[in-house]
Amino acid sequence: MPAPSDVEDLLPDIGLADVMRQRPAGIGSIAHAVRIALAVTVSWLVAGWLSRSALALFAPVTTLLVVQSSPWTTLGVSIQRTLGTGVGVLLASAWVNLVGLSWWSFLAGVLVSLLVARLLPWSIGGQLQIPVAVVFVLALGPGSVEQDMWRVLEVLIGGLIGLAAVFVFPARPRPEAFEESMRRYRDAMVAVLRRVTSQSGRLPEPLPADSMHEYVYDSRRLREVALDARAELGRLGEAATLNLRAGREPADLTGRAVRLRRLSGLGLQVRGLVSAANGLYDREGIEPTLTASEFAGLGEQLVDLMHCVLGGGAVEVGAGERVDAEQMSDRLALAVQSVAATVSARQDEVGQMLASVSILGRIEQLRHQLDAFPR
């Protein structure tokens, strides 16, 4: 298995700089919505009990903005929102009490808050929190120094209650979303491989020089599916960080990253195979040294090996029945060698022969990667 350093780029960055760039996520579940509603209500009640301001507004609003689905994301959003709101409220209160409220003071206050926010290395949500707080305060108008301080304290109350709402009993990390994204990646890859090997050289008419096979577009979409799997791995890592209910999940994160790295390697080879086949088959004036039937036969064996190693359907990627995997891999290797010997013996144009050999090389590389795929 590769060392953790080989997959560090796939794992989420858990550090001080990253926590200030955390972005709020959507309301992912009914349970999350209920948690937010309860936290906001508690925040409003506590602020109304403690605060001496006329409207206990800033506490529940802050709580509403900071409660996220995971402790790590909540921590990052809370720091950004609490600091941003606190600074915005404090500066806006001082400004409006100093010069009063008019169109030019409102404009100047909002403009300065935006210029300050853009300098901060935070997420866009954290940056915008400063001008949002400024607009709130300016819209409410001047107040006493005591009221201004209570507004700042309300922000702190709201942030602390938001943190408590997630950290006291956090949601358990759910690896199911990541595993589902891996299955989608695997199934899309197998579908592309089956299509390129079965359809190449089968068109009734040659393709125009500026046209591509339809399977090329399916191949390009593999990158999007791979990025979805990578994003799900990052979300799983964040959900397990600072989470007392994570159990052994953090220790297994590297193993999941290794499987994603290996699956991505297979995806790159499939895309390269598609590119080579697209330029070789169904083209005017080109008779591929590797015939369409030979290509299809090798493709069938490769797809069978993929199913054996990677699994299919609801089976976790890499947890396929590998009883016959070694024998299947050996048969595919012999078939590739046999076809390669036949191809090299044919008296065809050198460029076409090299393109055919390139396809055989990619099939062989896919076989080697499947042999080494982690269980």
The mean pLDDT value for 200-229 works out to 92
pLDDT at 1 over 50: no
In this structure, the number of other CB atoms found within 10 A of the CB of residue 303 comes to 16
Chain segment 100-118, per-residue pLDDT in tens: 888 898 999 899 989 988 8
Angle separating helix axes 71-99 and 124-140, nearest 10 degrees: 40
DSSP label of 201: T
pLDDT reported for residue 244: 72
pLDDT in tens, 44-64: 888 888 876 666 787 888 888
- What is the percentage of the chain residues whose pLDDT exceeds 70? 88
pLDDT, tens digit, 9 for 90 and up, residues 112-139: 989 988 888 877 777 888 888 888 788 8
> Does pTM top 0.75 for this prediction?
yes
- Mean pLDDT for all residues in the chain: 84
Q: What is residue 323's predicted lDDT score, i.e. its pLDDT?
A: 78
Domain limits, the chain = 4-167, 176-371
Spell out the SS3 assignment of 231-298: HHHHHHHHHHCCCCCCCCHHHHHHHHHHHHHHHHHHHHHHHHHHHHHHHHCCECCCCCCCCHHHHHHH
- Percent of the chain beyond pLDDT 90? 30
pLDDT at 3 over 70: no
Q: What is the pLDDT of residues 247-286, one digit of tens each?
A: 655 557 888 888 999 999 999 999 999 999 998 899 888 8
* Residue 2 confidence (pLDDT): 47
Asked whether 218 and 270 are in contact (CB, 8 A), the reply is: no
Q: Does residue 207 sit in helix, strand or coil?
A: strand
pLDDT at 236: 87
